[in-house]
Amino acid sequence: MSVQTTADIVLVDYGLGNLRSATRGLERAGASVTISDDPERFHAADGVVLPGVGAFAEGMENAASIRDGLVAYAEEGRPLFGICLGMQMLLTSSEEADKEGQGDVEGLDLIPGRNRRFAEGQKIPHMGWNELSVERDHPVTAGIDGEYAYFVHSYYADPDDERAVVAETDYGIDFPAIVANEAGNVFGTQFHPEKSGETGLRILRNFVDYCVE
């Protein structure tokens, strides 16, 4: 049975996202997906997804031309969903840039905080399925508490405000699996929902529903 399309979603193309699998996941969740790097197209959409695989500094460099457009979109209270590196880019800075000798590379600063590297002694990258513990209500978390999602990363978000943590996962330490700004319209998952089976599909469907509320 086909899924009824319910939201017009822009998937941001800045050269570092796994666009094919993200598109497929969003379409399965009922979205009509447009891949674009045009900020004007963002504003015509019901929601915007910022995917990402790779290094923080490279991500911010590649996204330089759309930075202002993403921030303006988010500040209008519109839904902006970051995935993996895209989630980390929502924060202010990252230790990853420091490690690579690139200094304090500035993120989008939509969720104040810093991305930190897992401690020495922990296997890096963190790769595999881990349980989600929902810490507070958010539209994307409906029905996912105690479910498992697929992670591949070496850095994790450390928001300035602990209330920004929507869900946690245990990997030697409890770290944020989902973060959101105070208004709730800017949020991100450290894991890949498009690779997380039925749990990921539930999150993407929750996102689509949120975009058309």
- Give the tokens for residue 190: 């450290």
- The Cα 190–Cα 169 span in angstroms is 10
- The Cα 149–Cα 128 span in angstroms is 8
- Give the tokens for residue 115: 């991305």
| Measured CA distances, 33 to 36, 63, 140, 188, 207 (Å) | 10, 19, 18, 18, 13
Q: What is the DSSP letter of 55?
A: -
First to last CA, the chain: 24
ω into 125 cis (within 30 of 0):
yes
Q: Which residues are catalytic?
A: 84, 192, 194
In terms of C-beta distances under 8 Å and separation of at least 24 residues, what long-range contacts does 34-39 make, across chains too? 34/8, 34/9, 34/10, 35/10, 35/11, 36/10, 36/11, 36/12, 37/12, 37/13, 37/65, 37/66, 39/66, 39/68, 39/69, 39/70, 39/72, 39/73
